[in-house]
Amino acid sequence: MGRKLAVLVGINYPGTDGELKGCLNDVARMRRCLVDRFGFDEAGIRVLADADPSMPPPTGANIRLELERLVGNAQPGDTLFFHYSGHGLQLPAETGRDDDTGYDECIVPCDLNLIKDQDFTELVAKVPDGCLFPMVSDSCHSGGLIDKTKEQIGNSTKQNKTQQREREMRPRPGTSLSTSLLRIVRGTFESLGIHLPRRGQQQSSSVQSGGPEPHAKAEATTRASSTTNRSLPLSTFIEMLRDRTGKHDVGVGSIRTTLFHHFGDDASPKIKRFVNVMLGKLRHDGKLDALRAALEQEAHSVQEVYAGTAARVVVPRPRNGVLISGCQTGQTSADATTPDGVSYGALSNAIQTILAGKKHGTVTNRKLVLKTRELLSKQGYTQQPGLYCSDEHANLPFIC
């Protein structure tokens, strides 16, 4: 019989403009559930949580390290599990303008070192055959966290492909590919301290150029006295990033290069590939050390590092992953507090409620998601959890 191993991440972002209440509670409840219901050994569960000095901080580097260890040590017959409760973010196109390159769906570690959808896709693709890797992401925009995985329940990826391709090929009025690339390269240079002369109107760093922000309206519920959502408005993320990095000129068009400049080799692999492509063979005196982490990431085209539908990265289909998302890509997930002060994520609480109501026997991944949708709807929430996996895994028990 294989091992049962898990990584649980809860981030409340205390003292920030993005503070949440229920994420650490979600992780504590899931940890007890794994041990009491599913027979996990406590030693096989790694917990990363902020506001708890006894636990490793859930930085981007720490989360990636634990997930890489989890997958890297996996053997056929093992059951792996990942639960994330925290903020989600949709990062707009690299130019800072709505140029139809789409969005990156991300989770937001406590240090803001984003982990992107493509990072998760590449991670799950490494899971060996005969090993299953279910994931629960109680965060906003989580329907897009594992690309290339079949959507069993939801509407995050079902689009008209013909219209989608037409949007990708259609240039934005008044712009060209060369103009867009110039903006990207300029932002890349300037984030590394290389200032280029400007001609004509400067590119705005206003958050508004990135497109509409996720709405911040609290969702109604019959069981909670108050709710917020687990989505960081882009303006809030940028302000938090400015405070953390000390770079007060960060704008939509320079988020990725700022993350690379600040985190270096610990930045998302996709961000490092992006910087690699934008800089090309640049060798600027005094900048080689800063560039090395990016230049080690192999990339062959601009399309490869774009967000969303224009991406052309060849990644093996992640066959052995199961994603249960808190909501669809364009939706937010609720962080709720009851009248007596108990806080939780709406998805996490629904999962625990359903499992508690079925004390004996198993519930399949498909049945669990359908039941969470039904329960959340009865409670007044508008978010719709999704299921992303193969046909075979859809009908397997949740956490085999």
Active site residues per annotation:
87, 140
Do residues 335 and 22 lie in contact, with contact meaning Cβ atoms separated by under 8 Å? yes
φ, ψ at 178 (rounded to 5°): -65, -35
Do residues 5 and 81 lie in contact, with contact meaning Cβ atoms separated by under 8 Å? yes
Give the helix, strand, coil percentages of the chain, each rounded to 5.
40, 15, 45
From CA 18, how far away is CA 240, in angstroms rounded? 9
Measured CA distances, 99 to 93, 174, 237 (Å): 7, 11, 21
From CA 270, how far away is CA 361, in angstroms rounded? 41
The residue count of the chain comes to 400
Do residues 6 and 38 lie in contact, with contact meaning Cβ atoms separated by under 8 Å? no
Tokens of 52: 């708890």
From CA 387, how far away is CA 150, in angstroms rounded? 9
